[in-house]
C-alpha cells in the first residue's frame, strides 16, 4: 500500500484488525522498521487523539517524527491552478508539497472541510495536492470526506468487544451547537460495509449522508426503533449534507441517554460534548467504550504506518 487516504485502501479489514491486535500486545516488536526515516504530521485543524496516537505509533516503529500546526505556523496555501496570488494566500501547494517531501519519507495530514463549498471540500485539495505534487506516501488524519484512522480503530474496538456472529450496530446522529464534518460518519459507514453485522443508521430527516457512501445501508428515521436490540451504538453529530454544512435542528430528544442505550455498548470518536450529544450517565458507565476507542487509535495508526514502511 502506498497511501492511506480512505477505508478503500484496506485490502482485507479482518486481517488488518487481527494484525493490529497483535501489535497492541507487542507495540515495540517492529521498533527498527522505521529507523532512519521521518514522518511529518501536518495539522490544519485541532487535535488531541490523532496528534498523540499517530506520533506514538510512529515512535513505536522507530520513526523520527516532525509535527507542524500548519493552520497557525505555516503560510496560507493556495490550491488553485493559475491563480494570481495577490490576495491572502502566500504559498502554492505545488512548492509547499515538494518542499515538505524533501524533509520526510511519509506525510500525514489533517485538513477539515470548509462546510461552505461542497465541491471544493469533496475535491480534497490539501490531501490530493500533497498526493499530486510529492512522491512520498500520504496518510489521511481526517479530511473533508473521511477519517479512516478512526474507523480502523473502531473496527479494532468492535472486534475486541463483540461476542456475536452478527451484532447489531447503530450509527445514531446527535445534536451539537456547531456545524460538524461528515468524515467520521462516512468512514464508519464504509468500514461497517465490510463487516458481518446488522447495521442501521438513524438521523432526523435532512441529515442523510452522501448516498454514494451510504449506498444500500438501512436508514431508520425513528431513533427508538433503530435502537431496538442494539449491541453497539455509535453516536456522532454531523451537519446536513444536502443543505450543505447547515444545522437544521438541535432537538435535544436525539441526545443519547442511558435509558435509550439499554444494554448496548456506547461508542464515540471524541471529543464529545457532555449532556448535549450524550448524557454523563452513559459516558461514566462501563458501557462506554470511548477511552478504549482512543487507545486503539495508536494501533490503527501503527498498522497503517507499518504497511506503508514495508512497501517503501
SS3 state of residue 4: strand
Helix (H) or strand (E) holding 200: strand 198-202
Told to check if 267 binds ligand CP by CB under 6 A, we report no
Does residue 56 have a known ligand-binding role?
A: no
Does residue 63 have a known ligand-binding role?
A: no
Site for ligand SUO in 168-197 (CB under 6 A): 178, 180-181, 183-184
- Contact call for residues 209 and 173 (beta carbons, < 8 A): no
Told to check if 41 binds ligand SUO by CB under 6 A, we report no
Told to check if 154 binds ligand SUO by CB under 6 A, we report no
Minimum distance between the CB of residue 301 and ligand CP, rounded to whole angstroms? Answer: 11
The residues pairing with 202 across neighbouring beta strands, listed in sequence order, are 172
Among 269, 278, 304, 305, binds ligand SUO (CB under 6 A): 269
Residues 6+ apart with CB under 8 A from 194: 7, 10, 13, 155
**Residue located via cell numbers 438541535:** 250
Told to check if 146 binds ligand SUO by CB under 6 A, we report no
Which CB, 80 or 177, lies closer to ligand SUO?
177
| Residue 300 in grid coordinates | 490503527
Told to check if 49 binds ligand CP by CB under 6 A, we report yes
Among 5, 269, 277, 282, binds ligand CP (CB under 6 A): 269
- Contact call for residues 130 and 44 (beta carbons, < 8 A): no
Minimum distance between the CB of residue 184 and ligand CP, rounded to whole angstroms? Answer: 7
- Contact call for residues 39 and 107 (beta carbons, < 8 A): yes
Told to check if 156 binds ligand SUO by CB under 6 A, we report no
DSSP character for 123?
A: T
Does residue 147 have a known ligand-binding role?
A: yes
Pairing of strands 232-236, 265-267: parallel
Binding mask 142-181 for ligand CP (x = CB under 6 A): x-------x-------------------------------
- Would you tell me how many other CB atoms lie within 10 Å of the CB of residue 283? 20
| Residue 52 in grid coordinates | 498523540
Q: Binding partner of residue 273 among ligand CP, ligand SUO, none, CB under 5 to 8 Å per kind?
A: ligand SUO
Residues annotated within a binding site for carbamoyl phosphate = 47-50, 75, 110, 147-150, 269-270, 297
Residues in touch with ligand CP (CB under 6 A) = 47-51, 142, 150, 269-271
Amino acid at each position: 500500500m502506498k497511501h492511506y487516504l480512505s477505508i478503500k485502501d484496506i485490502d482485507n479489514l479482518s486481517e488488518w484488525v487481527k494484525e493490529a491486535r497483535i501489535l497492541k500486545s507487542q507495540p515495540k516488536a517492529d521498533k527498527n522498521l522505521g529507523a532512519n526515516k521521518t514522518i511529518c504530521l501536518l495539522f490544519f485543524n485541532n487535535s488531541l487523539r490523532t496528534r498523540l496516537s499517530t506520533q506514538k505509533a510512529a515512535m513505536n516503529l522507530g520513526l523520527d517524527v516532525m509535527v507542524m500546526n500548519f493552520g497557525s505556523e505555516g503560510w496560507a496555501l493556495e490550491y488553485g491552478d493559475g491563480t494570481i496570488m495577490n490576495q491572502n494566500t502566500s504559498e502554492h501547494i505545488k512548492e509547499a508539497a515538494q518542499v515538505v517531501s524533501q524533509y520526510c519519507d511519509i506525510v500525514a495530514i489533517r485538513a477539515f472541510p470548509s462546510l461552505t463549498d461542497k465541491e471544493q471540500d469533496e475535491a480534497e485539495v490539501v490531501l490530493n495536492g500533497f498526493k499530486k505534487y510529492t512522491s512520498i506516501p500520504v496518510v489521511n488524519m481526517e479530511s473533508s470526506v473521511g477519517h479512516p484512522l478512526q474507523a480502523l480503530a473502531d473496527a479494532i474496538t468492535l472486534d475486541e468487544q463483540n461476542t456475536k456472529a452478527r451484532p447489531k450496530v447503530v450509527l445514531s446522529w446527535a445534536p451539537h451547537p456547531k456545524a460538524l464534518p461528515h468524515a467520521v460518519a462516512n468512514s464508519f459507514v464504509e468500514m461497517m460495509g465490510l463487516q458481518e453485522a446488522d447495521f442501521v443508521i438513524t438521523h432526523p430527516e435532512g441529515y442523510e449522508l452522501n448516498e454514494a457512501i451510504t449506498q444500500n445501508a438501512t436508514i431508520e428515521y425513528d431513533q427508538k426503533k433503530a435502537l431496538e436490540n442494539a449491541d453497539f451504538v455509535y453516536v456522532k453529530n454531523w451537519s446536513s449534507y444536502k443543505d450543505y454544512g447547515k444545522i437544521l435542528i438541535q432537538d435535544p430528544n436525539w441526545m443519547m441517554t442511558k435509558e435509550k442505550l439499554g444494554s448496548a455498548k456506547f461508542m464515540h470518536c471524541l471529543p464529545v460534548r457532555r449532556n448535549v450529544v450524550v448524557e454523563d450517565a452513559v459516558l461514566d458507565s462501563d458501557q462506554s467504550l470511548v477511552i478504549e476507542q482512543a487507545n486503539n487509535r495508536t494501533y490503527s495508526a501503527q498498522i497503517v504506518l507499518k504497511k506503508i514502511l514495508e512497501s517503501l
